[in-house]
Structure 1
Amino acid sequence: MSKPIFYYHPFSGPCRTVSTVAKILNVEMEMKKLDLLTKEHLNPEFLKVNPFHKVPTFVDSDGFVVDESRVIAMYLVESRKPDSFLYPKNDLKKRIQIDRWLHYDINLSTTISAPMFCVFRGHQVQDYQVEQGKETLKTLDGVMQSFEGKFLTGADQFTLADIAMYFSLNTMEVYPKYFKFDDYPNLKSWYHRVAEALKQYDTEGTIPKAIETMKQFIQQRAAEAEKHLVKSKMAKPVLYYMPVSSPCRTVIAIARMLDIDMEMKVMNLFEKEHLSPEFVQINPFHRIPTFVDVDGFVMDESRAICMYLIQSRQPDSSLYPHDDLKIRSQIDRWIQFDIGFYPTISMPVYSALFDRPLDQSQLDRAKETLKILNDVMAGFYGRFITGSEQITLADVTMYFTFNMMEIASDYYDFDDYPHLKTWYQRVMESLKPYDSDGMFVEAIETMKQYVRQKKATGTSN
């Protein structure tokens, strides 16, 4: 019988969870390493195996495919040695305890690894991420005070839950800048207890080697990020903007996602500040947003500014990846759609602002387009605009365009377009960490009030 196949990357804690469980169970696997840094997990061959393109992925000898590390580990135990102490078939209460800790570990892993992945992706670590991690670890350390030399289920024998959580907490060794084991003595004791128990299954020392390799890699990325931060502090680019402008908020959101510090210069269009000789000299088209880089390079058009920011600062960003032509083409496609649709969907707002008659035919076209878009989004299944689980520039720019539906709520109702509404709320949630000052929400409310005021005074249709 052929061996099962295991797709993995040695840096991955979840992959190490599965490989360790396989060693304990004496399950021999064909190991296929996928280099995530060179995007081998996105090749067509692997996508056929796992459309979610994630590691670890396990393919059993009969072709049965499983991903998600904890599920793979459970499957290995139940299909090979169901009576194993790792996840005992005939002890319901112990299994439930193990399940409980496995479920807890899913959230723990996300929380504790957040700062490390920020560094990995070249992003700035947010204060709330550190605070959330410390609070979680403090609670866990308090729970473990009663363990007294035992493992997670309260027994003298480690289980699948201990293994999974141990590899999740490897992150504290890899990147100890924010979370140090010495601050959590009970957690530290349990962690060392599991490490000692697993040594007999790691005769080649692959676990400490993987931790050390990952530690060096993250240190290198942190040093690169620090250099970039120092360089960026030397001089700031300038953004001319107005908070109530959706295109301006698009640029601000992208800059915040990329941790770009800009000198912000508000231009009051109602006071015609954009027509001042000084600004016209910078941008003869006298439009906002206008971005001036530290070397004097000037760019307008919000979407073009965003593309420039990504490609000049973080070309590897998933917002607009330079090395994935197909994803980038999908992003470009939606951006082109957004450019054409913005004047149509915003017509009721601008009619109110500039005392223009409402164009009913244009409003009808907007609603027809929204209906088509809603039907298209029915197939998104919780994903973003390119069909992936990762937000991109297309989502951000379209989200701020669709702010117009909130502002012009007398004409548009999100409830008429449920799939569009779901996508919109998904993007909104993703952008919340970048709106700590409330600018995005406040801008919508300000525009709503202004449009209502114009209508109340009878100066708008």
Structure 2
Amino acid sequence: MLDFYYMLYSAPCRSILMTAKALGVELNKKKVDLDAGEHLKPEFLKINPLHTIPTLVDGDFAVWESRAILIYLVEKYGKDDSLYPKDPQQKAVVNQRLFFDLGILYQSYMDYYYPQLFDEVKKPANPENFKKIDVAFGQLNTLLEGQQYAAANKLTIADVALLATVSTFEITEYDFKKFSNVVRWYENAKKVIPGWKENWEGCVYYKDLYLSDLLKKTVVKLSKVHNLKQFLGAGNFFHHTEMDLYYKPGSAPCRSVLMTAKALGVEFDKKIFLNTRGGDQFKPEYLKINPQHTIPTLNDNGFALWESRAIMVYLVEKHGQHDKLFPKDTQKQALINQRLYFDMGTLYKSLADYYYPQIFLKQAPNAESYKKIESAFEIFNALLEGQTYAAGDYSLADIALLATVSTFEVAKFDIKKYANVNKWYENAKKVTPGWDENWAGCLEFKKYFE
């Protein structure tokens, strides 16, 4: 029996419930009352030092972060690979959509609604954060153009994760009717994904528990999001036989891809973006490749993929001579995936939340955001207790985290006070191919901190 620590109102938890339903897997459900502090009890911290839900325990193996759990369930208990394909390109697109859900769509919900709902002193609605929701839905709308499903011509766990998120927006009365592709996809997803009823019950529970006061307020109507589709033409713009990598040397996510390629002996035709602040990434020819206009982006002979961690996994599975960096063992993969999501959603996010407003918006330092950096490093330090590497053996998790931590170093954050992190970092610099190029990128980015 699988022990599942959760609360029904949580969108990430609901995505696990729907996936388990689709797989015919029974879960031993254990509710964790966050408001009562049950996630901070010693017995739960022994299972998950990050004290987050959902958490899954399969025998003596524990994994958290919903999207890592989704992948683990399919790979361990799925009768086939339909929900999470084995084909490297199909899997890469599913991974990209999962990272989009975590880092863009669900993050936009948290950024706008959570300060109004959960801060000790409730904050007023921030119109700028509301615009980010519109942008996220605009991007999802573009990704769904001509598509019945989110990542392939069939149902995958990308649809399940996104359904949990979008239904949370619906219960919060965000109006996404103007995004016709999202509406079409959503209506179909509700019909074809097992467990929809329980998911919606969780949404209603969330509304009754937290949303009543918020929904009484007048919602500020903002102007429509800039429609990215006007930039997009039919067909592919590039058809290369080699792999093109669109990147910027100072970017930590870009550097993680470069180090992965170095470890694999893979070469790119590098397309450097020199002026992202000037809008290089919004040029029509680039939007045809990546409607999210982000870097890094990989173009492998007409197959376009973005989000650095999805690219890293794809490179190993498509071009690696062995699978040591991302083993086929389901438990090992689950741990690596969890660390990759930790890097994106916790550690790297804490860097961006604290430093980027100072660098790019010329804002004053925010003490609360700095505390989140310290909290992220404390968590990472705990995860590394007794470990040489981030997820067991050396893996993609170490490369992604190395790119992030090295950025903290040039930001002059004191890494040394976290003994396990510092020990891991000094070793990772020695064993990771491409460290010199990574450090050169760090030094280029350092100018922003000065």
Rg comparison, structure with higher value: 1
